[in-house]
């Protein structure tokens, strides 16, 4: 019995080492262009790393059992086994504790970092209006509206609060480069705050876009806007041009 456990544990440790290395180094994320995107990516990476020992535990026990306890005399079944009660209790206790732990980190701690409960005062407000099948953006501090916009300009390094609503059905305001998404619901205003931290545009990487992420009719897949993250100076001149009718 001790030998079975020792071999399985060694196999588990080896698979876990390889799996954790792969989970930590794999290049799995598209371009991240906001402070919030890194928080999301870090949480995803942490959950991936935490899931490795669970997967490898099952794989190691399975692989060892298949090889070591295979039928040798042509019979198709082994006598039924009943695990010790302590093993069952430990299994439930450990997996439950892990599940509760990830609710707090990265769950609650991540939401707190994203300003879920106490959003920081924004530098810039953008009012977002969804309709079948276009996005319109108003910058109240500049008196500028991009109606049925083809492009959404934003400044880098500024705290931006989106105030999102819809005039018809439920849409979802999603910016993949920022890893943030929020429903656009008729009759109410939903919000989130982001701070872009990387210049770029749709031409650099297709994740620089606003994409509707809620089925909203036949035009749903076309309900997108190119995003361009500019220096504050370029952003100011872009908005000034729009205000003057350019
Ligand atoms: Cu709007 Cu899908």
- How far, in Å, from the CA of 39 to the mean position of ligand 1? 26
- Residue 3: pLDDT above 70? yes
Interatomic CA distance for residues 154 and 151, integer angstroms: 10
Interatomic CA distance for residues 178 and 115, integer angstroms: 14
pLDDT tens-digit series, residues 21-41: 999 999 999 999 999 999 999
Ligand 1 atom nearest to CA at 184: 1
Ligand 1 atom nearest to CA at 223: 1
Interatomic CA distance for residues 232 and 235, integer angstroms: 5
Of all protein residues, the one whose alpha carbon is nearest to atom 1 of ligand 1 is: 171
Ligand 1 atom nearest to CA at 130: 1
More confident residue, 128 or 72: 128
Q: For residue 246, what pLDDT is reported? A: 58
Average pLDDT over residues 141-153: 96
Torsion-angle region of residue 99: left (phi > 0), alpha (psi -120 to 50) or beta?
alpha
61's CB contacts (< 8 A; 6+ apart) are 8, 12
33's CB contacts (< 8 A; 6+ apart) are 177, 178, 196, 197, 198, 200, 207, 208, 229
pTM of the entire predicted model: 0.86
Q: Are strands 180-184 and 200-201 parallel, antiparallel or unpaired?
A: unpaired
Measured from CB, residues less than 6 Å from any atom of ligand 1 are: 130, 133, 171, 212, 214-216, 220, 223
- How far, in Å, from the CA of 9 to the mean position of ligand 1? 50
């Amino acid at each position: 019995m001790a030998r079975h456990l020792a071999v399985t544990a060694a196999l588990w440790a080896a698979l876990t080492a390889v799996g954790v290395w792969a989970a930590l180094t794999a290049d799995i994320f598209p371009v991240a262009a906001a402070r919030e995107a890194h928080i999301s990516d870090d949480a995803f990476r942490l959950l991936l790393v935490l899931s490795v020992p669970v997967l490898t535990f099952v794989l190691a026990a399975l692989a060892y059992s298949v090889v070591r306890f295979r039928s040798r005399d042509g019979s198709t079944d082994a006598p039924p086994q009943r695990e010790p009660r302590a093993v069952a209790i430990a299994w439930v206790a450990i997996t439950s504790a892990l599940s509760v732990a990830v609710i707090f980190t990265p769950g609650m701690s991540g939401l707190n970092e994203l300003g879920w409960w106490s959003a920081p005062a924004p530098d810039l407000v953008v009012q977002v209006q969804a309709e079948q099948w276009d996005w319109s953006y108003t910058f109240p501090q500049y008196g500028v509206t991009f109606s049925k916009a083809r492009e959404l300009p934003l400044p880098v390094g500024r705290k931006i609060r989106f105030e999102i609503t819809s005039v018809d059905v439920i849409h979802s305001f999603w910016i993949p480069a920022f890893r943030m998404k929020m429903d656009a619901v008729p009759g109410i205003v939903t919000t989130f705050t982001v701070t872009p931290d990387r210049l770029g545009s749709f031409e650099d990487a297709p994740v620089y876009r606003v994409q509707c992420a809620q089925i909203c009719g036949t035009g749903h897949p076309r309900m997108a806007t190119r995003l361009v993250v500019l220096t504050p100076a370029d952003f100011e001149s872009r908005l000034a041009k729009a205000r003057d009718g350019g």
